[in-house]
Structure 1
Amino acid sequence: MSTSITIFDTTLRDGTQGEGISLSADDKLKIAKKLDDLGVHFIEGGIPGSNNKDIEFFRRVQSLGLRAKISAFGSTRRKHSLAEQDENLQRMLAAGVPAATLVGKAWDFHVHTALQTTLEENLAMIGDSIAYLKRKGLEVVFDAEHFFDGYKHNPEYAAAVLSRAREAGADWLVMCDTNGGTLPGEVHEIVSAVGLALPGAPLGVHTHNDCELAVANTLAAVQAGARHIQGTVNGYGERCGNANLCSLLPTLQLKMNYTCIPHESMAQLTNTARYVSEIANVNMPVNQPYVGSAAFAHKGGIHVSAILRDSRTYEHIEPEKVGNKQRVLVSELAGQSNVLSKAQQIGLHLDPSSEQARKIIDRIKELEHQGYQFEGADASLELLLREATGEIDELFTFESFKMLVEKTAGGSVVSEAFVKLNVAGESLYTAAEGNGPVNALDNALRKALIPYFPSLRDMHLSDYKVRVLDEQDQTAAKVRVLIESRDYRTAWSTVGVSGNVIEASWEALVDSMRYALLGLHSPQPVRTEFGQRGLVNH
């Protein structure tokens, strides 16, 4: 029977201290629900009373009926005061949640320098505060701040801090690597020593990633006896971030045989990571372990040839176990295996010995030489493969477009696009304004196509990137445009390349809509008051 690990998520508190991350109360409630679905045991909601967002979160979260325990965060009572009269502790109680995370100093240097009090008074502050919250019926998680630095400088005092917290009734004694500078060997040695000094104590660990060792340090602590781990989704957090739960959960559960979350929930991990990334408006690194889009992506021809025989040759787990998927990248470095695998994924039969296969590979390499990049534009690649094999029905044909961009003195910039298409034998001419030329083109395309393909209402452009391909050409340089589009089911990316940024954007934009319409074969015009030849906006 595997050993259970208690998972304490602090994305909504410590994670929001990361640069560029700001969550509204609604955002925090959505993430809390997602974390609860994943199966974490504690969700740290924030600091009660510190700001209006956290006040609203604690007021509303109770109506969600979550299984996870919501924890309020705060510090021990002030020096030379009473716990019963401490405003911070009163706010934690007023939050109405079942658990409290109480932070106290474990490094004598901090006691003298930051708190400017005696070592004995700090112990009293810790003991009094924990005992008071326990009398009020809360489950108390004690975070021993700077514990590992404190232990290295004064092990007797750091151990005394944990002993006092345990005597006061703390449910978990969490050793924090607050500065993120401890090494895995040191963590293992110190946690082992604490376990021997406090046999049976409920030990936990909270690590930061300043040496890129937060995950490794957490694993070392678990191997040494810690049974409670704290971290954040995608490793968000102050400075370099916190221990990344998206790496810790599968490593502990799939590789080390610990039980962290329900077995069936592990397949939600990738979706959870990307959901939180979207809510936080922070792009996930493509190479993030387990959940990144490149975590199971293969580019080298030899690698692809091997995984087609057995994925274990270049994959340490089955990507589906964490809700991810295998991807084969096609580029100028691609071999025949890459193209065959990609074709197979989208249901195309491609004879590896055929002239057709060779021409497709040559075409891809030629386009990449021109500046196209299909690694991050799977949708454009699929369209290219379907065109080459005759497996695509063109539902509309481009005829022309014009742009008008006008700025008057003291006024704002106005962009207007004029688009001419042929759909089902009808020539359509539309015009639309937009917030910039790309948005205007998007709006004009939609006006022409939505009457025939109403499903396009469900898609939207979610990301737009421009890359200059040759900086030496300065403003005349060729550019590559990558567009990411989404609907309520999925996301896809398309690419365009040109010496003109509008033309490159047009290519990527048209491909995004062509991809959205794959599978539709009979456009059905929805007639409008604008007449039989489609929408016209003058």
Structure 2
Amino acid sequence: MDSNQVKLYDTTLRDGTQGEDINFSVEDKILIAKKLDEIGIHYIEGGWPGSNPKDLQFFQEIQSIKLSNAKIVAFGSTCRPGLKPEEDSNIRALIDSGTQTVTLFGKSWDLHVTEALNINLEQNLKIIYDSIQYLKSHVSEVIFDAEHFFDGFKNNPQYSLETLKAAQEAKADWIVLCDTNGGTLAYEIQSIIKEVKRKISIPLGIHVHNDTEMAVANSILAVKEGVRLVQGTINGYGERCGNANLCSIIPTLKIKMGIDCISDEQLKKITEVSRFVSELANLPHSKSLPYVGESAFAHKGGVHVSAIRKTPLTYEHIQPERVGNRQRVLISDLSGESNILYKASEFGIDLESKDPNVRKILEQLKQLEHEGFQFEGAEGSFELLMKRALRKHKKFFELLGFRVIVEKKEEDSPPFSEATIMVRVGDQIEHTAAIGNGPVNALDNAIRKALEKFYPELKEVKLLDFKVRILSTKDGTGARTRVLIESGDGKSTWGTVGVSENIIQASWQALVDSIDYKLLKEEDKSESKS
């Protein structure tokens, strides 16, 4: 094997699903496998066919899927004590899975041999040898995962190395050194791998967990020491604190270390894959993930923004486009004039640095943030703020008044909410009412009902998220409240914000901004076509 060649082994579909709150259906696993294949993953561990019907079904269905790059891998354990490999149902399930690559894990820590398996050390060596030798007569490639290897080596280095020698003598194709408990530090990983390489000649792999926040670093340093198979999961999903995060490892190998483990075009898809997997896992995509997180190339401080407008390299370690991500500038009370100019350019607003409106917008922004507004998650509201300051904002309707009633008639019955609203559009007045699931929902329904006859495009708008934050708990029920709304129309999403001591008023502000933003974008679209 080329000394600069590194193979990527994904275990999201097996080890990743052992993470808390993660559960993939068979359909999910098929979709994820296709995405992993698209970005050039070499091995995809599909699951443990001997452990549950879902994994068995996955291996049956994946056989009809044509993959371009990846080998599907079945995972299982060495045969059980007291059984020959050919008598073990788990070993048989691995062969019956239909894959030509099997990963077999076995004990390499003497503590686990004597305490967990309750057998002697020699018996364990024979189990490893016999299991691998038997599988090699049925499949073309066997990977041996030396479970708890680093802990075992620190406790009894001679015996841990004996388990690797047993795997090597049985003709395993790879030996993977596992930090199963995730407690080994980087310098220990390096020194132990050096020792292993003196005794073992077949290619080595690395599998580490993140219990000391070292999984990515340990994987990278293992590669530096000559390891050529890196196991991990998308977004670092996995048991306890997770596994090594392939979304960090892959760009680091390729961009920082010059190892062409995948192509440039495949690397550009890694952010998309990261977010796709988190969506199927039904988990929020962490903004702070390196390389692929929404905040990975986000800039907030005015000094930073001023610098990146001149040279992005000043505060960005790579070009975000290389990993399919993008540069973002945030708006807050930490902003400077550069933030305003950057956002103006992003919004297509013609604004020069010497324009006095820049200072005016900045002062208004800082005052509003002082009052409790937050524009990081409400860029729709901020774009409207800028256009109002520049007198480029059209007033689509005028509120003449609204009333919200919450009535509870009986102790055990739910409250009844109704909103009545009066608006003027041009020279027409619309007066209507609507009920809803609570006062805010009733108000939302009423304003839509009043305006949709004038602006039918509002029927496309859906409220996607509604967040309420109490800004000062010392004021109790009279505290100022911030409402953040995320809206979408199937083509794009936008955030808006409102702040008031009255939650209905705060919600109204955010709802009106959401409607204004949609109508503004529709008008811009019409003007660009004409």
Give me the whole-angstrom Cα distance separating, in 2, the residues matched to 1:259 and 1:523.
43
Cα pair 1:395 1:523 within 8 Å, conserved:
no
* Secondary structure in structure 1 of the residue aligned to 2:375: coil
Report the residue type matching 2:280 in the other structure: I
Give me the whole-angstrom Cα distance separating, in 2, the residues matched to 1:406 and 1:55.
55
* Secondary structure in structure 2 of the residue aligned to 1:520: helix
Pair 1:162 & 2:164 matched: yes
Equivalent residue, structure 1, for 2:375? 374
Within a 5 Å distance, the mapping from 1:329-340 to structure 2 comes to: 329-340=330-341
Deviates more, 1:37-46 or 1:214-223: 37-46
Give me the whole-angstrom Cα distance separating, in 2, the residues matched to 1:134 and 1:434.
65
Taking structure 1 as reference, are residues 176 and 20 closer, same or farther at Cα in structure 2, changes over 3 Å only? same
Pair 1:188 & 2:190 matched: yes
* Secondary structure in structure 1 of the residue aligned to 2:269: helix
Within a 5 Å distance, the mapping from 1:30-429 to structure 2 comes to: 30-67=31-68, 68-199=70-201, 201-405=202-406, 408-412=410-414, 415-423=417-425, 426-429=428-431
Shift of 1:416: 4.7
* Superposed CA offset, 1:19-60 (max 9, x none): 222222333232222222222122222222534433443333
Give me the whole-angstrom Cα distance separating, in 1, the residues matched to 2:327 and 2:100.
41
Taking structure 1 as reference, are residues 140 and 305 closer, same or farther at Cα in structure 2, changes over 3 Å only? same
* Superposed CA offset, 1:507-531 (max 9, x none): 333333433444312999xxxxxxx
Equivalent residue, structure 1, for 2:467? 465
Give me the whole-angstrom Cα distance separating, in 1, the residues matched to 2:173 and 2:431.
69
Taking structure 1 as reference, are residues 461 and 27 closer, same or farther at Cα in structure 2, changes over 3 Å only? farther
Cα pair 1:453 1:523 within 8 Å, conserved:
no
Cα pair 1:393 1:521 within 8 Å, conserved:
no
Give me the whole-angstrom Cα distance separating, in 2, the residues matched to 1:418 and 1:59.
58
Equivalent residue, structure 2, for 1:533? none
Report the residue type matching 1:191 in the other structure: I
Question: TM-score if structure 1 supplies the norm length?
Answer: 0.90
Question: TM-score if structure 2 supplies the norm length?
Answer: 0.91
Unpaired runs of 5+ residues, structure 2, are none
Give me the whole-angstrom Cα distance separating, in 2, the residues matched to 1:375 and 1:21.
29
* Aligned Cα root-mean-square deviation (Å): 2.6
Give me the whole-angstrom Cα distance separating, in 2, the residues matched to 1:493 and 1:144.
49
Cα pair 2:3 2:226 within 8 Å, conserved:
no
Give me the whole-angstrom Cα distance separating, in 1, the residues matched to 2:52 and 2:266.
33
Deviates more, 1:175-184 or 1:30-39: 30-39
Equivalent pairs counted in the alignment come to 523
Cα pair 2:95 2:139 within 8 Å, conserved:
no
Equivalent residue, structure 2, for 1:531? none
Taking structure 1 as reference, are residues 149 and 358 closer, same or farther at Cα in structure 2, changes over 3 Å only? same
Cα pair 1:104 1:143 within 8 Å, conserved:
yes
Give me the whole-angstrom Cα distance separating, in 2, the residues matched to 1:255 and 1:427.
63
Taking structure 1 as reference, are residues 61 and 513 closer, same or farther at Cα in structure 2, changes over 3 Å only? farther
* Secondary structure in structure 2 of the residue aligned to 1:144: strand
Give me the whole-angstrom Cα distance separating, in 1, the residues matched to 2:3 and 2:439.
58
Deviates more, 1:36-45 or 1:362-371: 36-45
Report the residue type matching 1:130 in the other structure: I
Give me the whole-angstrom Cα distance separating, in 2, the residues matched to 1:116 and 1:322.
48
* Superposed CA offset, 1:99-121 (max 9, x none): 32221111111111111111121
Equivalent residue, structure 1, for 2:514? 512
* Secondary structure in structure 1 of the residue aligned to 2:261: coil
Shift of 1:61: 2.8
Give me the whole-angstrom Cα distance separating, in 2, the residues matched to 1:413 and 1:2.
70
Deviates more, 1:52-61 or 1:229-238: 52-61
Give me the whole-angstrom Cα distance separating, in 2, the residues matched to 1:373 and 1:515.
17
Shift of 1:406: 5.2
Shift of 1:245: 1.1
Cα pair 1:424 1:523 within 8 Å, conserved:
no
* Secondary structure in structure 2 of the residue aligned to 1:64: coil
Shift of 1:174: 0.9
Taking structure 1 as reference, are residues 127 and 367 closer, same or farther at Cα in structure 2, changes over 3 Å only? same
Unpaired runs of 5+ residues, structure 1, are 525-538
Give me the whole-angstrom Cα distance separating, in 1, the residues matched to 2:403 and 2:479.
21
Cα pair 2:79 2:131 within 8 Å, conserved:
yes
* Secondary structure in structure 1 of the residue aligned to 2:13: coil
* Secondary structure in structure 1 of the residue aligned to 2:487: strand
Give me the whole-angstrom Cα distance separating, in 1, the residues matched to 2:179 and 2:433.
59
Percent identity reads 53
Give me the whole-angstrom Cα distance separating, in 2, the residues matched to 1:287 and 1:302.
21
Give me the whole-angstrom Cα distance separating, in 2, the residues matched to 1:423 and 1:56.
59
* Secondary structure in structure 1 of the residue aligned to 2:181: coil
